[in-house]
Structure 1
């Protein structure tokens, strides 16, 4: 019966060596660690076990620096480094994108568990939608007929619109950006790892075959070793080619991820553009409220000192509330110098601060005229039988 040496380690702190083990240092040349004992186990094995043993022996001797190692070609090494770099950066980008789309770590963990359990994630309102609902409820309690209540309701509706746009952005980003990144990590890269490990096994088999050929002295044994070397060399070359083809596919992955990145940027641009437009529209709707509050404050502060004059403040955005370029301020100047009246379109809603003023609705057409002694920022508005002062910043004179 033929004997073969098996290499292993034993921790002396955990017990004594089995009787079948024989302590030897010559099998590897040195101890692995001071607390490890390197032992040789004599065991009868067949040819297949001998090959497996050669594989492990080759691996151990390489770690101890006592065996030569077949190096991969530079191109394959570069491809391996690029694949590993792609994997690390894909993980980092994906992680930070998930944080951007869902900043709450508890919610991210919950969604991850639902995904692993293959259950539908419960629908929840985002922060904009929660804020919008709170504003609408508060505005309803104050009364939609009041300036503050009406403003709260309008702000709440806008916040809900922004929340809806954010929800669409998150869904689009998850499908078009995160999913391809995750598919690469869980699919293509795992295949690369599998083939890379198999290439490592084939390389160890090849080096073990080279070692056996060097040690062969008998002609028959040398012939068997040469045949074994040719077979392992062929298997190694074949596995190296398979691994190389997979690694070169990372270039296609980069191109695909570039398209995904473009889709993500487009989704983000759409989200911010929609949010901006919603806020611009809200700003126009709220343009009347600053002047209303100012007028109320002026009336309150001067109630004991005589009659007060309501002076409208500058709206939220002067460029948005300025008269149309065609007529401009010159049209209002001509109207104040004449005794006639003109048609004017209302640009924004306006709530009257007192009985002397006229409430306005956006896009309605009224008649306006100048009254002697009236402040230059105001005109007399007329809608049917209703008359009252209106601020010129909310009007556009018509031809």
Structure 2
């Protein structure tokens, strides 16, 4: 219990020290340790990757699933680790209604017969569309979302921890500068060495993660190429289906 109380008091003191350091930096009364240009460039690339990946994923999902309600429902099912509901596409609903109307008008009539035929082909288009949505999600949007939920979240977590270590380091630097007595100076300098070591270690961890963004870009390039292949196959199949329908109707 004593250990826990001491830790709570220590953590509270460290939190207050960071707030004071941040406030003094904003007021311009305290110096701030700056990261090197290479690190800043890596961080800028990571931020750009995060922001643009989020936008591209949102746009792609809006294309694949135009209904925002369905997108929200799918997101919820994904979060609770449940299977997404199987839905007919709008084209399939259109096809079903055409077939039903054709049967009402009479399959023996020209209009009824044509409605049934077109409805069957609309169902084929709809199934093709559903297959495309599933394939595109698997090869493109899902890997992108996984990247955002894992790698990016890890980078942000480590970058935030680096900022904490940086505040601790600069607070120690200020204490060393403000130390008056010979008794206080050695303790402050010892704390500074520890803080510097922890900061350097965290900076290296964060930098290694940031450098990994290059490999992520290579993986995203493969995802993009697979998405294009899937999309091209989808439109080619749609063209084939519609050409077959035109040939059927011409008879």
Greater relative contact order, per chain length (Cα 8 Å cut-off, separation 6+): 2
TM over 0.5: yes
For the pair 1:282 / 2:242, whether they are aligned, the reply is no
Match of 1:139 among 102, 111, 132: 102
How much has 1:147 moved relative to structure 2?
Answer: 2.7
Per-residue CA shift, 1:212-251, capped at 9, x if unaligned?
1111222222122222211111111110000000001111
Say if 2:197 is the partner of 1:234.
Answer: yes
Distance 2:96 2:33 in 1: 68
Give, in angstroms, the shift of residue 49 of structure 1: 6.2
Partner of 2:231: 268
**Structure 1 residues 110 and 53: alpha-carbon distance in aligned structure 2, compared to 1, 3 A threshold:** closer
Q: How much has 1:152 moved relative to structure 2?
A: 1.7
Match of 1:252 in 2: 215
**Aligned equivalents of 1:57, 1:271: Cα separation in 2:** 59
Q: Deviations over 1:82-131 (max 9, x none)?
A: 11111111111111111111111122222223333333333221111111
- Match of residue 129, structure 2, among 160, 166, 173: 166
Find 1:78's aligned residue among 41, 54, 63. Answer: 41
Q: Which residue of 2 is the match for residue 177 of structure 1?
A: 140
The Cα of 1:78 is off from its aligned counterpart by 1.1
After superposition, residues 83-102 of structure 1 pair within 5 angstroms as 83-102=46-65
SS at match of 1:118: coil
1:189 has 2:177 as partner: no
Counting matched residue pairs gives 243
Aligned to 1:122: 85
Q: 1:152 and 1:58 mapped to 2: Cα distance?
A: 74
Instruction: List alignment gaps of at least 5 residues for structure 1.
Output: 1-45, 288-348, 350-399
Max radius of gyration: which structure? 1
The structure with the largest helix share of the pair is 2
How large is the Cα RMSD of the aligned pairs? Answer: 1.8
Give the CA deviation at 1:51.
5.0
**Partner Cα distance (1:58, 1:132) in 2:** 67
**Deviations 1:267-318 (Å, cap 9, x if unpaired)?**
111111101000101111111xxxxxxxxxxxxxxxxxxxxxxxxxxxxxxx
Alignment counterpart, residue 164 of structure 2, candidates 169, 185, 201 = 201
Which segments of 5 or more consecutive residues in structure 2 lack a partner in the other structure? 1-8
The CA deviation string for residues 327-364 of structure 1, in whole angstroms up to 9 with x for no partner, is xxxxxxxxxxxxxxxxxxxxxx3xxxxxxxxxxxxxxx
Determine whether 1:104 maps to 2:67. Answer: yes
Cα shift at 1:260 = 0.8
Q: In the alignment, what sits opposite 1:243?
A: 206
Match runs of 1:5-44 below 5 Å: none
Pairwise CA distance, 1:52: 4.8
Cα deviation 1:23-77 (Å, max 9, x = unaligned): xxxxxxxxxxxxxxxxxxxxxxx87765554333212211221100011111111
Shift, 1:169, TM fit: 0.4
Counterpart for residue 56 of structure 1: 19
